[in-house]
């Protein structure tokens, strides 16, 4: 005796609810479960996006320095080929006094400058996407904070079940068809404004260039 209830930060999220109870018990159970879960999910997603942005910002800073060093070496040795540029001039210049070599020395080849620049561009694009996600999370969380109770709604017709109008001991299966799909909505304020609790927060797909930067860049483990 179950029905499928759609709610969450992903528009496709859903949970199965046991209808073997009274309507009041169903409302109280779903309210406590859904509101707590959504509140926790907002916090987790916000922290996750900020963590990724901080990671990418650190990567961009390191690789921007690498680009500057590569450009400097290219300007100082315009006639050198990739192989000669990689292995030569180890004793001269700023790094020829026994100091620890800059991470840039570990990237060679005629396309290295283009590669690192592409990594930076991809990381900057991902940061912009994640900042847009943070805005969507903030807007959704602000609206969600005003929710005082919940109700169920037919996702096709938009008709609310209005759980509060039924006797508290009426079986939930009497008002919701078994194995049906319904949508969870929040009720806000004195005007009983309805808020859809499936928020459809955008997903960020990591570009292959960013994956390469994390695996092979100057901050990669083992470099």
C-beta of residue 24 within 8 angstroms of C-beta of residue 169: yes
Could you tell me the residue ranges of all domains in the chain? 2-87+106-153+171-183+203-216
Which one has a higher pLDDT value, 135 or 3? 135
More confident call, 223 vs 86: 223
Q: How far apart are alpha carbons 182 and 196 in whole angstroms?
A: 12
Cα 70 to the center of its chain, rounded Å? 33
Count of positions (residues) in the chain: 223
Indicate the DSSP class of residue 2: E
In this predicted structure, what is the pLDDT of residue 110? 38
The C-alpha atoms of residue 169 and residue 167 are separated, in whole angstroms, by 6
pTM of full prediction above 0.95: no
Cα angle 48-53-58, degrees, rounded to a multiple of 5 = 130
Q: For residue 195, give Cα distances in angstroms to 90, 146, 189.
A: 65, 10, 11
The pair of structure tokens assigned to 176 is: 């919701």
pLDDT tops 80 at residue 107: no
Please determine, for residue 56, whether its predicted confidence score (pLDDT) is greater than 70. Answer: yes
Q: What pLDDT was estimated at residue 96?
A: 45
pLDDT at 137: 96
Q: Does residue 105 register a pLDDT over 50?
A: no
Mean pLDDT over each residue of the chain, to the nearest integer: 83
Least confident of 3-7, 99-103, 202-206, 207-211: 99-103
Please, what is the Cα angle at 179 between 174 and 180, to 5 degrees? Answer: 75
Q: Where are the beta strands (DSSP E) in 81-210?
A: 147-153, 181-188, 193-196
* pLDDT score of 170 more than 80: yes
Window from 8-17, 53-62, 131-140, 162-171 with minimum mean pLDDT: 8-17
């Amino acid at each position: 005796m179950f029905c499928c209830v759609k709610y969450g930060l992903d528009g496709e999220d859903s949970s199965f609810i046991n209808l073997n109870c009274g309507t009041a018990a169903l409302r109280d159970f779903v309210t406590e479960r859904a509101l707590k879960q959504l509140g926790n999910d907002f916090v987790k997603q916000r922290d996750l996006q900020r963590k990724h942005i901080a990671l990418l910002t650190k990567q961009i800073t390191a690789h921007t320095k690498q680009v500057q060093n590569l450009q400097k070496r290219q300007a100082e040795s315009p006639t050198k080929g990739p192989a000669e540029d990689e292995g030569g001039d180890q004793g001269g210049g700023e790094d020829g006094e026994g100091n620890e070599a800059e991470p840039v020395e570990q990237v060679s080849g005629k396309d290295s400058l283009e590669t690192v620049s592409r990594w930076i561009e991809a990381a900057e694009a991902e940061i912009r996407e994640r900042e847009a996600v943070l805005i969507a999370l903030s807007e959704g969380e602000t609206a969600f904070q005003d929710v005082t109770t919940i109700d169920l709604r037919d996702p096709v017709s938009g008709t609310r079940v209005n759980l509060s109008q039924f006797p508290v001991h009426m079986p939930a299966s009497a008002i919701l068809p078994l194995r049906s799909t319904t949508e969870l909505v929040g009720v806000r304020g004195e005007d009983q404004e309805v808020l859809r609790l499936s928020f459809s927060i955008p997903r960020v797909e990591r570009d292959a260039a960013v994956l390469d930067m994390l695996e092979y860049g100057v901050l990669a483990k083992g470099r």
